[in-house]
Structure 1
Amino acid sequence: MHDRFIRCILIRVFAAAALLSITSLATNANAQTPADKAIPASARFFVPQPANGFIQQAVGLLEKFQLRNALLIAEMEATPQAVWLTGNTPAQTATTVTSTLRQANFQRAIPVFVLYNIPGRDCGSYSAGGAENTADYEAWIDAIAGAIGNQKVVIMLEPDAIADLPSDCGYDPTVVDIPQAVANRYAQINYGITRLEQETQTSVYIDGGNAHWQAVPVITQRLITAGVQQAQGFFSNVSNYNLSTYESKFDTWVSSCIAFGMNPADGGWRLGNYSYCASQYYSPLGTVNPDDITTWVYTDEWFQQNMGSAVPSTHFVVDTSRNGQGPFNAASYANPPYNQPSTVIATLNNGDWCNPPTRGLGAVPTAKTGIALLDAYLWVKTPGQSDGTCDSAGGARAWDYSVYGPAGWPTTAAQQATFDPLWGLDDPIAGAWFPQQALDLAQRANPPLR
């Protein structure tokens, strides 16, 4: 009897998810013209198959009679999300693309692909991997482009690849030829843009970091070098938590800085001099705090005074998959009962990108943004998937267990090195389903899930 009850409730959960998807299909489907590479305002984005781990978590919640939480997770999984291509052979990846396109056509929806296979990916950290060399990477790109053909798709090309160049990784220059590695990285991204944009309906966006990473002049120069002018634009906030107001403002400045440094009408001295642009960290007109958007008026004023006849035209998209509550701040852990010292707080804040708790899903994917250069809000990072083990061994966490270490927490140095005190458990590896985080994101969604 108990098992039959569970099955009945589970059917209701999946039916609710399917109904949400079907309703979205009926109200948002939009035909595309072959020559149109922009994302139409009426676009509906593809809903992939539920992430691995979702069904197991949903069943577990139902067995505990937590119907509300099971429905929240189902709603999250019924929301359009990107499909990540992270490796495999070119042939295997092409098969995945073909299968995804078939499903997207059935939904009459636009798929969003994340290409994450650049050589030297993630500086060898939690998400290390990628193609072995440039030739292998180009073959992988060719396979994806061939599988896409004339289908309408949106590509997020290599998150972190530009904001986190090999020169930012701290490599030993006696072991790694850093200048050559940087040159290779730009060549790989440029090849990806050129090859994928050859397809008639493929819109490519490249990595613009986020509003709390590289300064506007730095990321602007890197985007230009990578070939952003040949792409549809750039993306920001992938797998991050910055509020959309910060990201759209930052991205607009980057687009403005591109225009500023490429406009010969107002003086040859400006050409290529992106370093002149004000940023989220500095403006000559007043003190700017990257964490306080009210101070960003000084950077706004700099662009107003210096753009001349230049008009920003480079478009962008923003990842809202986990920014509903904004970025994490570890300051509360300095208070009782945790009483963590300032050194721990600093390390926790530096690791704020790695599975921070008490965040939330952000705005659902839409191309109706109300901002001219902002093409879409997208769920690029898969909500519920771990960023990595997020522990002290990897440098993302620190903790003084002598002042706070409740019963059940590890007591040996070896166990503590792989423990995440913010969640009170060992986090799953990068890309694995993280049920506690998944439910937390769904419960704290802003705006709330239906």
Structure 2
Amino acid sequence: MPTRRASTHRASRPRRPLPRRLVIALLAIAGVVVLAALITVATLITRGVQALMLQPPGVETTIVAANDSTAARAAADAAASAEARAAAAYLADQPTAYWLTPERDPIGDVWGRIAHLAEQARDQDAALAVVVYGLPGRDCGNFSSGGLDEADYATWTGEIGEALANARDLQRIVVLEPDSLALAPECGNLPDRTRQLTTAVEALSGSDAWIYLDGGHSTWHEPGTMAGIIAQTGLLDRVRGFATNVSNYNHAAAEFDYAHAVAAALGGGHALIDTSRSGAGSGGVWCNARNRLVGEPGGTFGDEVVDTNLWIKPPGESDGSCNGGPAAGAWWPDAAIELTRDVR
């Protein structure tokens, strides 16, 4: 009968639990490491967002489509025809700059308007683009006449600057006083315009917004002439550049060439191009041109001079009481229907 050997296996000793103090210390260290990692990630994300906000507008820039625009209100007008509502609804959905005027958003109210637009921009993950349009002697008594006196203009633009500064988490774009410089030779008031625009630039500069002066358009002044007007203001080194074709109808290609020529004559500078109504060209008419079309969506093109194109003039709003249109800025269903006939 075989003999059974005694087992040589020794029973293992039970492991002692780690001291409570050591466990607490290790957990604390782990928590610090995780917290530090989260802070690092959050910091990198914040810096990335800030870097994006510090970038000027460019290709693929999308600006806010305000939910209380004139187009949005027209789309909700039950008394309008089905075609008119469809045209308005299409235009209401398109990212388009919001025009700040003292008539619609006066002193005391304009701050709240921008705050409301900023909330919509955040919801849409979009940039905030506004047109400041309240200069003293605006439009030299033409269809869009009006504006504030100089003291009130300083107050109004100051409120705009403060409100924009309160939205630093957004990319902010300001088109400053369309037609103000291109009209100045005709109005004979370039020194006054320079002083007034300087006040506005000073009020807006603290917001770190991207500011564009008026640059006329390709069928108005020659590029060298327009560059000379802009240069006389002495403001080019305090703004991003100039905007062209605002409230006009010229083809984007013509404006692209024009912006390059103006920038070359200035010795540098950047531009925005308004393509809201550029789809069929101007036909030589600037005020309520008929049978026109909406143009390229914002953010379609750009290069080292042209930052990008945007819809700046809201399509469907009248240029004034010309060619059968209502008052400047009023909604004109017939124009909205014409402009959108190929895209609805």
- TM-score, L = length of structure 2: 0.78
In the other structure, the counterpart of 1:121 is 138
Tell me the CA shift for residue 183 of structure 1: 1.4
Find out whether 1:191 has 2:199 as its counterpart.
yes
**Per-residue CA shift, 1:55-111, capped at 9, x if unaligned?**
25676333xxx5xx7545422220100100111432111111111111111212101
Find out whether 1:148 has 2:167 as its counterpart.
no
In the other structure, the counterpart of 1:80 is 95
Tell me the CA shift for residue 34 of structure 1: 6.9
Q: Is the 8 A contact 1:328 1:357 kept in 2?
A: no
Find out whether 1:47 has 2:62 as its counterpart.
no
Write the letter of the residue equivalent to 1:207.
D
Find out whether 1:318 has 2:326 as its counterpart.
no
Residue 427 of structure 1, aligned match among 325, 329, 344: 325
How do 1:9-88 residues align onto structure 2 when only pairs under 5 Å count?
31-33=49-51, 36-49=54-67, 50-51=69-70, 54-55=74-75, 60-62=80-82, 70-87=85-102, 88=105
Tell me the CA shift for residue 230 of structure 1: 1.4
CA distance in 1, matches of 2:49, 2:333: 37
**1:58 and 1:316, CA in 2 relative to 1: closer, same or farther beyond 3 A?**
farther
Tell me the CA shift for residue 32 of structure 1: 4.5
Write the letter of the residue equivalent to 2:174.
I
Mark the structure with the bigger radius of gyration.
Answer: 2
CA distance in 1, matches of 2:157, 2:66: 21
Find out whether 1:221 has 2:238 as its counterpart.
no
In the other structure, the counterpart of 2:253 is 245
CA distance in 1, matches of 2:227, 2:254: 17
Residue 212 of structure 1, aligned match among 207, 219, 224: 219
CA distance in 2, matches of 1:377, 1:386: 21
How do 1:130-209 residues align onto structure 2 when only pairs under 5 Å count?
130-132=147-149, 134-149=150-165, 150=168, 151-165=170-184, 167-169=185-187, 178=188, 181-200=189-208, 202-209=209-216
Tell me the CA shift for residue 371 of structure 1: 2.6
CA distance in 1, matches of 2:78, 2:93: 13
Q: Is the 8 A contact 1:209 1:238 kept in 2?
A: yes
- TM-score, L = length of structure 1: 0.61
**1:58 and 1:81, CA in 2 relative to 1: closer, same or farther beyond 3 A?**
farther
CA distance in 2, matches of 1:354, 1:187: 28
Unaligned runs of 5+ in 1: 1-29, 170-177, 260-312, 330-351, 391-419, 421-425
CA distance in 2, matches of 1:37, 1:253: 24
In the other structure, the counterpart of 1:295 is none
**1:123 and 1:231, CA in 2 relative to 1: closer, same or farther beyond 3 A?**
same
Greater RCO (CA < 8 Å, at least 6 residues apart): 2
Fraction of identical pairs, as percent: 29
In the other structure, the counterpart of 1:385 is 317
CA distance in 2, matches of 1:36, 1:76: 29
Q: Is the 8 A contact 2:76 2:85 kept in 1?
A: no
Unaligned runs of 5+ in 2: 1-47
Secondary structure of the structure 2 residue equivalent to 1:118: coil
**Per-residue CA shift, 1:159-193, capped at 9, x if unaligned?**
0000001x413xxxxxxxx5xx4312101112222
CA distance in 1, matches of 2:228, 2:70: 36
**1:382 and 1:370, CA in 2 relative to 1: closer, same or farther beyond 3 A?**
closer
